[in-house]
Structure 1
């Protein structure tokens, strides 16, 4: 550091404070934290300096510890600087599982919740604006229909009636859409239940990471029955498939978990080849395979079979689908798929203010966490 007199000082002493927790059950101790303090001190000693001399300013035998009130060490040319350190062990009440909680303490909780509420209000405002535009369009079309004078004008289809016979038409790749939606329902249910566990305090990844991952996999496996039921509901009842499709059930049961398992196995092979210090054990891999093949996959088939057997098809007597699809006219450039996808992604990007606060915390070397997630 530099003063107004152009003098330079150096931190030549480090004070280490090591905290440990004593486990009375196992009669062992673990280090749960440490703290390092730097000091600048002009060491004093008798006669000429040698490694056998004792320092009067830092003498462990006399229990003389360095404090911030000692005169600092000035740096001059051709002058030796003595570097020292001391270590102090302190017993702590912090347990081994809670040793990282110190880094999770934040002082901007109000800003954190303000960002969440702000994002929620923007989502509600944009949703309300879109709903008002749609309602105004429908009211305008209905008003125009009520003003028609004769039957010929009433039979002419304008406005939203142009597509009323194509609303419930099955899409081109209805099977793939059903599989993706069924997989999404399974993942959404897993995330929802896991978040409820974390909010209630039952699970915490910062304390029990292995158990946390195991619970996620178990919940995902049990949610397979809802994924299969949703897939069958869309495919057989909404899209009016006549027969039970084994291919769709197999795809729902094996597409997403198979892809994830292949990626996981490749990463495991790379870490094992690189002599990773913490590779995944084979019994864990076989446990995940058992949950997938013995629990999740049968539940997917069970859910799809139950839906196909016991759920009646939907009836749409009020709106019938025409046999010949209406030809879609040529659209403007701003209605192209690429442009609409880009514009559709702008609104969620603008809404996510929570992401900006997380990135700011990362840039400032802070931890941003919620529901025990760090």
Structure 2
């Protein structure tokens, strides 16, 4: 499918900065229509829950292509300028030939007849068999299939309508495929608010589509219109005529007639600002489950808070106060024959302590060490107190950890901005593709935060070449994401899907990356490295590294620590993830709209990640393992492993995706999402652990 010119490199930045026209905040930017005023109907795309491949509806070989007709201020076949989010979600919006006029019912109208060959017929059959759904748009509302709740008390919408259907004979097992070649369009409207309403203008509050399959024999041969819409004996079967073996080419083709009906119905029960609520009745019915998710999250977070409070209030604070008040005399005990520790071997010399004067516990330990003989033994000086000379020693591969932390802060800023804008209503379903577009803009402009934090961590680890760190920070994670998406895009291109990112869009993304984000990373890094500098530690690192005791999975910093610690944050969010997955993978609509619940669960998740990382770091230091830098990062992002396993379970039990390419796309994009999530929460865990360690050793 073509469409490479929809999103050029020149318009990439413009679409991000000027996307405000594409959305509304309820109560603002209302579009009203005069009586008999033409209303454009837009083709968009088709999608299915059995595949990750979407296709532009106007480019399908068996539908009526726009003929270039002029309708008031628009011409059929004209492509609508799309923002970055719309392009990435596979939208391809084109003005159609359907003629709609406000308030004018049209009982039956002929659109066109499309003749297709055997190849086009096979394409239609495959798409119907895979249960594809069509998305049209009127006044920024997707055409919806109307349903009624089980108790018949409320009506709700599901975006899209069926392309066709399959009829299976239960006795013989044979199946017949039918194409919906007639649609009844119902547009619900009401009086426009304010002065427009006084002038007789109307606003659209609902767009319903009722498809029907009508056989060719039930039509007038001259006009192409059906004789009777109510009593249809058989549908339009996707099958070549019986004389397909004839040499005449017309016998090897199939002609599909398309017709439509339009009805306008007044509906004063729905306000214009609430017209999207019909699409979210299902989410409203699940509010009890959302509250259950929040309650589950609060219980887990509360238990962790109690554990952290015990660590701070009783264990650590008690140790420090005990040494401040009684020194080491009260803690000196009789030595055990084979398990004693020499004071001078357990404590560093005063010269390795803080150079900022008295800092409490550690200085008292050093003073006591000077007064005791080399044969005195102390049993109470163990655990986290023993590694204070090594706890701030720069980690191995710190030049890699610093850019990861920088990119993580960039993601934290982006996620916080998206959730905030969603909660206040700026990002809403009417802003089609807005979540991705605004997210990309926030990510690009948050490069300054990425550079700042990366540079400060880099200098804290003793790094010298900060410009090299700028290049690594600005290209490591974005480059990995871009390279992976580009490779996956080749598979989508091979299937001519509208989900394929056009070449112009790829060039635009690279331009945003290299021309905007990378300079911002440089500015942030320059300020963080040269103007602010490194964080000062309360304790200097000793010249000789202390050996980490062998034995115990906490001491070794093994994978078990990350998996066990990551299970707790996953338990906080796994219920809410069901709704996110349903919106992204099952419904394919992308209309997840309970951002209030998501914000609460996300806040609890952050608190949980902080507390889990603090507890894991404390236990690790108590086991005399001071290699906590990388461990805290991996512990913070450990729940990403469980989320990826959760997506595999969801794929196997809930989805109906078939085919190697579709499975590859699902798992590849799921892996990227989990990688981004792990980087975000890992950064939060790292910063929390760093603040905790500085606090207890200060």
Q: Same fold (TM over 0.5)?
A: yes
- Displacement after TM superposition at 1:167 (Å): 1.5
Corresponding position of 1:245:
466
Residue aligning to 2:476:
255
What residue number does 1:138 align with? 316
Q: CA deviation at 1:357?
A: 5.6
Partner of 1:43: none
1:361 & 1:298 partners in 2: Cα distance? 38
Q: 2:442 aligns with which of 219, 226, 232?
A: 219
Structure 1 residue 170 corresponds to structure 2 residue 170: no
When residues 92 and 171 of structure 1 are mapped into structure 2, their CA distance, relative to the original with a 3 A threshold, is farther
Which structure's residues are more often strand, by fraction?
2
Q: CA deviation at 1:291?
A: 1.2
Contact 2:186 2:263 in 1 (8 A): yes
**Alpha-carbon contact 1:165-1:321 (below 8 Å) kept:** yes
2:458 equivalent in structure 1: 235
Q: Give yes or no for the alignment of 1:340 onto 2:561.
A: yes
CA distance in 2, matches of 1:356, 1:30: 30
In 2, the alpha carbon distance for the partners of 1:246 and 1:296 equals 15
Give the secondary-structure state (helix, strand or coil) at the position aligned to 1:250.
helix
Match for 2:490 among 246, 269, 276?
269
SS in 2 for 1:328: coil
Please say if 1:18 is aligned against 2:242: no
Distance in structure 1 (CA, Å) of the matches to 2:210 and 2:286: 24
Change (3 A) 1:182 1:265: same
Q: Which one of the candidate residues 194, 198, 208 is aligned to 2:422?
A: 198
Q: Confirm or deny that 1:329 pairs with 2:540.
A: no
CA contact (8 A) 1:224 1:300 kept: yes
CA distance in 2, matches of 1:266, 1:361: 26
What does 1:22-171 align with in structure 2 at a 5 Å threshold?
A: 32-34=207-209, 89-91=263-265, 101-105=277-281, 106-133=284-311, 135-139=313-317, 141-142=319-320, 143=322, 145=328, 147-148=330-331, 151-152=372-373, 157-171=381-395
Cα 1:369–1:331 change in 2 (3 A) is farther
TM-score (norm 1): 0.69
Distance 1:326 1:335, change over 3 A: closer
Report the CA distance shift for 1:195/1:321 in structure 2 as closer, same or farther (over 3 A): same
Distance in 2 (CA, whole Å) between partners of 1:342 and 1:111 is: 27
1:70 alignment counterpart: none
Cα pair 1:222 1:299 within 8 Å, conserved:
yes
C-alpha distance in 1 between matches for 2:449 and 2:568: 31
Distance in 2, matches of 1:30 and 1:84, equals: 34
Runs of 5+ unmatched residues, structure 2? 1-182, 193-203, 213-217, 219-226, 236-259, 333-370, 599-698
Number of residue equivalences = 316
Question: 2:586 and 2:436 mapped to 1: Cα distance?
Answer: 29
**Residue 433 of structure 2 aligns to a residue in which SS?**
helix
1:301 aligns to 2:522 (yes or no): yes
The superposition leaves residues 24-58 of structure 1 with CA deviations (integer Å, 9 ceiling, x where unpaired) of: 9xxxx999213589xxxxxxxxxxxxx9xxxxxxx
Q: Deviation digits for residues 262-300 of structure 1, max 9, x if unmatched? A: 222223322222121454333332222221111100111
SS of 1:263's equivalent?
helix
Q: Tell me how far apart the structure 1 counterparts of residues 578 and 494 of structure 2 sit (CA, whole Å).
A: 38
> In the alignment, what sits opposite 2:11?
none
Higher Cα Rg: structure 1 or 2?
1
Q: 1:97 to 1:255 in 2, by over 3 A?
A: farther
* Cα pair distance change 1:331/1:147, threshold 3 Å: same
**Cα distance in 2, alignment partners of residues 87 and 261 from structure 1:** 46
- Residues 357/187 of structure 1: CA separation in 2 closer, same or farther (3 Å cut): closer
Does the CA contact (< 8 Å) of 2:406 and 2:454 recur in 1? yes
User: Following the alignment from structure 2 to structure 1, what is the Cα–Cα distance between the partners of residues 271 and 492?
Assistant: 31
Q: CA RMSD in A?
A: 4.4
Q: How far off is 1:347 after superposition?
A: 1.9
The corresponding residue for 1:286 is: 507
Q: TM-score, normalising length from structure 2?
A: 0.39
* Alignment partners' CA distance in 1, 2:500 and 2:271: 26
Contact 1:104–1:369 (CA under 8 A) maintained in structure 2: yes
Q: Closer, same or farther in 2 for the Cα pair 1:82/1:222, shift >3 Å?
A: closer
Q: What are the Cα deviations for residues 154-206 of structure 1, in whole angstroms up to 9, with x where unaligned?
A: 888434321111111110111111010000001110111121111111122x2
Distance 1:372 1:313 in 2: 38
d(CA) in 1 for partners of 2:273 and 2:505? 22
**CA pair 267-225 structure 1, distance change in 2 beyond 3 A:** same
Q: Structure 1 residue 250: deviation in Å?
A: 0.7
Question: Deviations 1:66-113 (Å, cap 9, x if unpaired)?
Answer: 9xxxxxxxxxxxxxx985999783446789999865332222324413
Structure 2 CA distance for aligned equivalents of residues 360 and 282 of structure 1:
29
